[in-house]
Chain A
């Protein structure tokens, strides 16, 4: 049971990490907790749903379309809601972010309805739900299988499943990993990535070397939103349920993950996401699934009490 919860936790955690990265990057550059970020995740799921149900796109195309659309949406939100408040007290932008979050939730409800919807089943590749790898115990022996468990083994009455990983979990873990590697390369190996790091360290100086700071901030929103949308699509398929408030729940946990890792630090956010995903899965298995959020928050509070800057945060990140 433990290995199974570990894999479930990592799957969930990699999704939290994708969302947490968006919170932390925006905070790193403009010191704003973008409360509307969870709603990007929700809208990402709905856009993929629509792309599949209405445009009949295959799953990978729907995922990419959703990420691209949400990148634009992120830029638009920054332009309309946050950019005019760049020089205003930070509280003004924070309240605007909360307002934007509610606004997007209600828009989604108006467009897609308040009911929980399943992903269009026929559009999801069938192999997603097949077993990719399993570890079973039969008659005292442990058998590892790539692919489905053979029927003669599955029929055995003394069968215990130790671990079973579905292709969907493999897809979620792989896509998350690829996106995070891609993000790392963008931030550390490209011109715009260097500009992002420069803006996070000293915005005035960034403008003095010729960087258009607003454009870099817009790019940061686009990047974070694309990752958030990917997470929304993956979770929508994983739980096979999308609803207008799904972003709020994940947003709260992902925000906790970003704080836990040290807000402003991308690696910290990924680490925080994985920790909270694992804690949620293990907590639900061994304590009670009712306490999943309580556990996530207890961990966050403990870390903040003993290391206020978070796991990877430096005290210098606590600029005012």
Chain B
């Protein structure tokens, strides 16, 4: 579904992502784990079109998307839930969600998706008229995911959805992510919580200082000695 070939992204002269190859299959959950500053977020921002790769190609179902603008890439079915959630704090929950469907015109399908999102996150339905900034961290994460789903993505990119949340909320959110995947959306997950990510994912990538150093099935990576010592604290 998504193919990254030799993607290099730089901030000025500093290359944060160096020649990365990633291949995500249709319908799977893939994850990218690694330490802080390894280049995981940069990879996602590059796929989403916020950053332009310096070299390399990104193809979505065989069509190149590198070089397209972010709003264009959303319309092609790739949505990003960014790090820190970045909900619009002064807009209501309902407005945040409706902006998620900004590029769409299919009113009936949008209404369906809204109902589905409210079904996944009943909390959001209760707080429709509330400003996004007044929600708790967990609710904001739910709103950020719900907003991304309103674009009806085929590929959903998630940057650290567990960050700063209570374990109980994290568990709840990951259950919902699996549910979203079951409905046919491919997920690409960036996580510092390696154990959690490798448990829900089928494929895993390990990133260190801008390069992919390991790549395997998730159930094998979770047993890999290098992963166990560096990311699972064993």
Contact = CB atoms under 8 A, between A and B. Distances in A.
Contacts of A252: none
A89 interface: no
Interface in A164-205: 191, 194-195, 197-198, 201-202, 204-205
Interface residues of A, number: 17
Interface residues of B, number: 27
A305 to B, nearest CB: 27
B86 A197 contact: no
B92 to A, nearest CB: 10
A262 to B, nearest CB: 14
B80 A194 contact: no
B151 A209 contact: yes
Contacts of A212: 69, 71
Contact of B50 (A198, A208, A211): A208
Contacts of B69: 207, 212
A157 interface: no
Given A194-B95, A198-B99, A210 B71 contact: yes
A288 to B, nearest CB: 43
A226 B147 CA distance: 33
Contacts of B79: 208
Given A194-B91, A197-B90, A209 B102 contact: yes
Contacts of B117: none
Interface string B50-73: 100000000000000000011100
A209 B91 contact: no
B130 interface: no
A213 interface: yes
Q: By CB atoms of chain B within 10 A, which of A204, A205, A206, A208 has the most?
A: A208
A206 B96 CA distance: 10
A210 to B, nearest CB: 3
A305 B88 CA distance: 30
Contacts of A210: 71, 74-75, 102-104, 151
B74 A198 contact: no
Contacts of B193: none
Contacts of B90: 197, 201
B71 A211 contact: yes
B156 interface: no
Interface in A5-37: none
Given A201-B91, A210-B151, A194 B98 contact: yes
B48 interface: yes
Interface in A131-145: none
B100 interface: yes
B103 A202 contact: no
Nearest to A191: B102
Interface string A203-246: 01111111111000000000000000000000000000000000
Interface of A: 191, 194-195, 197-198, 201-202, 204-213
User: Nearest 9 pairs between A and B by C-beta?
Assistant: A210-B103, A210-B74, A207-B70, A205-B86, A210-B102, A201-B88, A210-B71, A209-B99, A212-B71
Interface of B: 48-50, 69-71, 74-75, 79-80, 82, 86-91, 95, 98-100, 102-104, 147-148, 151
25 contacts: A194-B91, A194-B98, A197-B88, A197-B95, A198-B88, A201-B88, A201-B90, A201-B91, A202-B86, A204-B86, A205-B82, A205-B87, A205-B88, A207-B49, A207-B69, A207-B71, A208-B50, A208-B70, A208-B86, A209-B74, A209-B148, A210-B75, A210-B104, A210-B151, A213-B71
